[in-house]
Amino acid sequence: MNETTNTLKGAAALLTDDQRARLLKNGRENTECIDEDGNTRDFWPVVKLFCPWGAATWLLTELDPEDEDIAFGLCDLGFGCPELGSVRLSELAAVRGPGGLTIERDQHFTATKSLSAYADEARQHGRICV
């Protein structure tokens, strides 16, 4: 198996099938909203990914229906300035830390508010607070 195949499998492992389906549904809904009136819906995060050896965290709300490797959400690389944006799941899956650690899914995360509410709070604190 080559490195690209391993990375794609790793990207798939970041999300459960249910999370992937919900993220895609949200992505399709926002694509339709943008096409209709230019606005988007403010979804609650579906999944939290994190870096176990650092401060990076991602709260993801949707996948691009045209490229399911691209997720949208609140991205915090641990430098004090979290921002809304897109990230490639394959890039997250390719990250390797000390001892071979990888980016992980928080199996206990349940969103309690919308992405914009998390983003507002993150801007105030300089980090994602969950």
pTM for this entry: 0.91
| Residue 91 within any structural domain of the chain | yes
Residue 73 is predicted with a pLDDT of: 99
Residue 32 structural domain: 3-125
Place of tokens 């604190």: 125
Asked if the structure places residue 100 within a domain, the reply is yes
CA–CA separation, 46 and 102 (whole Å): 20
Instruction: Provide the 3-class DSSP secondary structure of residue 79.
Output: coil
85 within a domain of the structure (yes/no): yes
Work out how many domains the chain is built from and give that number: 1
pLDDT tens-place values along the chain, 130 residues long: 555 455 556 677 899 999 999 999 999 999 999 989 989 999 999 999 999 999 999 999 999 999 999 999 999 999 999 999 999 999 999 999 999 999 999 999 999 999 999 999 999 999 999 9
Residues 22 and 46: beta-carbon distance below 8 Å: yes
Instruction: Tell me if 61 is assigned to some domain.
Output: yes
> Does residue 130 lie within any of the structural domains?
no
Per the domain annotation, does 108 fall within a domain? yes
Identify the pLDDT of residue 74.
99
Domain membership flag for residue 115? yes
Query: What pLDDT is recorded for position 57?
Result: 98
For residue 103, the cross-strand partners are: none
- Specify whether the CB–CB gap between 130 and 48 falls below 8 A: yes
Torsions phi, psi of 6, nearest 5? -60, -40
